[in-house]
Amino acid sequence: MAIQTWFITGSSRGFGRSLAVAALEAGDRVVATARKPEQLADLAERFGDRVLPVALDVTDAAAAAAALDAARDRFGRIDVIVNNAGYANVAPVETAPEDDFRRQFETNFWGVYNVSKAALPLLKAQGGGIVVQFSSIGGRVGGSPGLGSYQAAKFAIDGFTRVLAAETAPFGIRYLVVEPSGFATDWAGASMDVQDVPPEYRETVGAFHDRARAGLAAGDPDRGAGILVRVVKRDHLPTHLPLGTNAARMALDHAQRQLAEAGAWQAVSASADFGEDYPVELPADAA
């Protein structure tokens, strides 16, 4: 199997670190990026010249382009680009400081935008490649109290990636949106700040935060990374890949609810068009 070159954002810890190690252990080459590249020194010591540590703040578009250029100059091409960098803070939308809400979105969405956009000329020139976008199962089903900025960004990543896939289909560029449920990383630990939660939001935002802090995540990031290394070597990729038992269950439950609701309201939806029956009965207003 051909050796692949990976470009991974947020490689210093968590899923990004596990993925960098899994790719290197599979014999691939990795451009490992982090805000503090000294945190990647152990990878270079262990894997030698198959790993290139690069400093990158994904919110800096020029830095993203420079990091990709450095990757190309070192290895000649990039086969797999992974937009993994991201974090979440917890607060109700009503009381969350706007600057914090915006900072999260800058990393979680605009960071993905910056790297993806900068990668397109390179991927087009080399005749293709794979872009792996880390979302979350919350980016599919939503509704996690306290994660307004984070989940809004994950929904935006999904929509953005669907457009990219349509626009770049003739260029051989493929996309995979990864949707993990809870994994044993520090996502809900040192990486997460909790703003003041007013008493009236204790049952929703406060309860979510308590569950997240309990550290009961079932997902093993090393296993998840190993799965992704195997998946991207396939000829045909899924468009979306829930990772974890809870992610799979939530995705299926959400799809079933969507199908049921769309079917129940189908006649009402159609009645908005010229030439269709109008008015039509609304579905029963059951509790």
For the annotated catalytic residues, the residue numbers are 135, 150, 154
Domain membership of residue 284 (yes or no) is: no
**pTM of the entire predicted model:** 0.94
Domain membership of residue 116 (yes or no) is: yes
pLDDT digits (tens, 9 = 90+) for 77-107: 999 999 999 998 989 999 999 999 999 999 9
197 falls in which pLDDT band (50, 70, 90)? confident
Distance of CA 70 to the CA centre of its chain: 24
Domain membership of residue 82 (yes or no) is: yes
213 falls in which pLDDT band (50, 70, 90)? low
Domain membership of residue 282 (yes or no) is: no
**What range defines the domain where residue 119 resides?**
5-243
Residues in the chain: 287
Question: How many domains does one find in the chain?
Answer: 1
Domain membership of residue 268 (yes or no) is: no
pLDDT digits (tens, 9 = 90+) for 121-134: 999 999 999 999 99
Please state, in angstroms and rounded to a whole number, the distance separating the CA atoms of residues 285 and 287.
7
Q: Which two tokens stand for residue 65?
A: 């382009």
Domain membership of residue 109 (yes or no) is: yes
CATH assignment of the domain containing 191: 3.40.50.720
Domain membership of residue 285 (yes or no) is: no
